[in-house]
Homo-oligomer: A and B are copies of this chain.
Amino acid sequence: MNQNLQYIQSLINHINKDVTLDEAGIEKLSSILVFKDLNKKEFLIEPGQTANTMNFIAQGCMRSYYLDENAQEHTLQLGIEEWWINDLYSYLSRKKSRMYVQALEKTTLVQLPRIVLETLFIEVPEISNFFRLKIQSAYVAVQERVIDSMSDDAYERYISFRKTYRDIEQRVPQYIIASYLGVTPEFLSYLRKKHS
């Protein structure tokens, strides 16, 4: 039983939720995929590197975060199976990343290298459409976060985090959730107790 074939199938199903790939498209897509395994705590990207793949999580759990001037961690993105993870800024602008992209569990990624992906966009426009939609929803998600950070207090943000990341909450340490919400771990602990 080839595990990788299952991962490819999972990627194709995922893409087919938004666009319709024909057999030829599936064939071409499959031919460019790269598999990458990461151990727990291993980094996919570190500051100074440039993101040059799109990364689909086939198995495992990842996050992206950065360190501020006081060496505080701030988590920007979390993902598990069938989510995408990247420093989209670095990937799109081709500039060096300021982020860490890290595995929180033993993880397998299905990667699409930018150079071949861009050729594929011409041959299989559905795939181009798919990624346009993805980038659009990345924009929407990050704008949503700006809005929430201005309208909601920490507890409200925690509740809406639990809605958005229902399946992820159980799999990541609480101090990472705190660093996503923009509060200290102590304060998140306090909030959970207060409202329980």
List the B residue with the shortest CB-CB distance to A143. Answer: B142
Is A23 close to B, CB under 8 A? no
Contact A145 B146, CB 8 Å, known A135-B139, A136-B92, A139-B135: yes
CB distance from A133 to the nearest CB of B (A): 9
* Interface residue? A6 (CB, 8 A): no
**Which one of A136, A139, A147 has the highest number of Cβ atoms from chain B below 10 Å of its Cβ?**
A139
Question: Of B140, B145, B151, which contacts A74 at CB under 8 A?
Answer: B151
Contact present for B93 and A150 (CB under 8 Å): no
Contact with B along A69-104 (1 / 0, CB 8 A): 100101010000000000011001100000000000
Q: Are A88 and B182 in contact (CB under 8 A)?
A: no
Interface size class of A (residues with CB under 8 A): 20 to 34
Determine the distance from Cα of A76 to Cα of B66 in the docked complex, in whole angstroms: 23
Within the complex, which residue of B69, B88, B143, B182 is in contact with A149, where a contact is CB–CB below 8 Å? B182
Give the shortest distance, in Å, between A93 (CB) and chain B (any CB): 7
Q: Does the CB pair A146–B142 fall under 8 Å?
A: yes
Q: Which residues of A contact B (CB under 8 A)?
A: 66, 68-69, 72, 74, 76, 88-89, 92-93, 135-136, 138-140, 142-143, 145-147, 149-151, 182
